[in-house]
């Protein structure tokens, strides 16, 4: 059993690393952001509520996030471990997670804290473009499509997410620093955190992560 958390500001590359970790260790990747976006796309009550906060770069309220995340951890595919991405975001959420795991006879193995400086984060996120149809991701400079504004995979229109505008990105980073950075101290005290250089390149970052897990 391997129970992991991915920490890091928006644009740190958590999603990319999560896919690789899911494949290597055969554990479910639980992204609260993906859960929210699915509900937004489907127009559910949860989606409408979450969208109001996400479009402004703000965090969705604790009670909503905690309910969703802990319910997901109760599903059968999490019995052999999990990889949390986007939860917890606050110390209160972390405390609720710790209590939940203790009650269910489980423990956290490692928190992976991926660090990238602010200027690089803004560059990464404000240049990101997502296909309206299939969800494929591109970047205006880092990974541009063959035809400007058109998805290479399905021919759909590429759009900038509302929460990827430069102003919103800057706000998202500030919100992260204010509300989520205290988690680093929380998990430092628990002795379960590893700090990862998120600017080292995709494969180097993954190598550093796996070494930390298997140390």
Q: Known catalytic residues?
A: 14, 89, 128, 161, 172
Point out which residues pair with 131 in neighbouring strands: 158
DSSP letters of 48-96?
HHHHHHHTTTPPPPHHHHHHHHHHHHTSGGGTTEEEEES---SHHHHHH
Distance (Å, rounded) from C-alpha 32 to C-alpha 7? 13
Point out which residues pair with 157 in neighbouring strands: 150
Spatial contact of 181 and 90, defined as CB atoms under 8 Å apart: no
Spatial contact of 42 and 112, defined as CB atoms under 8 Å apart: no
């Amino acid at each position: 059993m391997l129970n992991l958390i991915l920490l890091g500001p928006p644009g740190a590359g958590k999603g990319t690393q999560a896919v690789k970790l899911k494949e290597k260790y055969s554990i479910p990747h639980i992204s609260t952001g993906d859960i929210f976006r699915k509900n937004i796309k489907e127009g559910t009550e949860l989606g409408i509520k979450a969208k109001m906060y996400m479009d402004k770069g703000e965090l969705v309220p604790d009670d909503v996030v905690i309910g969703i995340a802990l319910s997901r951890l109760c599903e059968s595919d999490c019995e052999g471990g999990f990889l949390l991405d986007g939860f917890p975001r606050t110390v209160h959420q972390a405390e609720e997670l710790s209590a939940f795991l203790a009650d269910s006879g489980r423990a956290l193995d490692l928190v992976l804290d991926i660090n990238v400086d602010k200027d690089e984060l803004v560059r990464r996120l404000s240049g990101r473009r997502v296909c309206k149809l299939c969800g494929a991701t591109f970047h205006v400079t880092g990974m541009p499509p063959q035809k400007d504004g058109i998805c290479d995979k399905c021919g759909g229109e590429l759009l900038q997410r509302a929460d990827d505008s430069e102003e919103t990105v800057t706000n998202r980073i500030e919100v992260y620093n204010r509300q989520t950075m205290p988690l680093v101290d929380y998990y430092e005290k628990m002795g379960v955190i590893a700090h990862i250089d998120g600017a080292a390149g995709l494969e180097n970052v993954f190598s550093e992560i796996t070494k930390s897990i298997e140390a």
